[in-house]
Amino acid sequence: MIEKLIPAIKWKWSAENIDSPILIQQDNVKTYINVNDVEFYQVAKQYGFNIHLMCQPPNSPDMNVLDLGFF
């Protein structure tokens, strides 16, 4: 996420919205980064972003925003 996602956000995010919070939702797979990962937040802050990592509730299609289009 640090090497690919943050640079991609920087490339697409407009400078006028730099202070707007960015919410990144990931599922609860253990291979993803922890929502409290210090290194991720430090790199995001260096780019000037206010990024919040969130995990989806496990096995809950009603609460899973990414799957709402399928149910």
24-42: per-residue pLDDT in tens? 888 777 767 888 899 999 9
CA distance 26 to 33: 9
Helix H or strand E encompassing 11: helix 5-12
* Residue 27: domain span: 5-70
What global pTM score does this model have? Answer: 0.68
Spatial CB neighbours of 39, under 8 Å, sequence gap ≥ 6:
2
For residue 46, name the pLDDT band (cuts at 50, 70, 90): very high
What's the chain's average pLDDT? 81
55 has pLDDT over 70: yes
**Distance (Å) of CA 40 to CA 5, 52, 54, 56:** 10, 10, 13, 18
Tokens of 16: 């006028």
Split into its structural domains, the chain has a count of 1
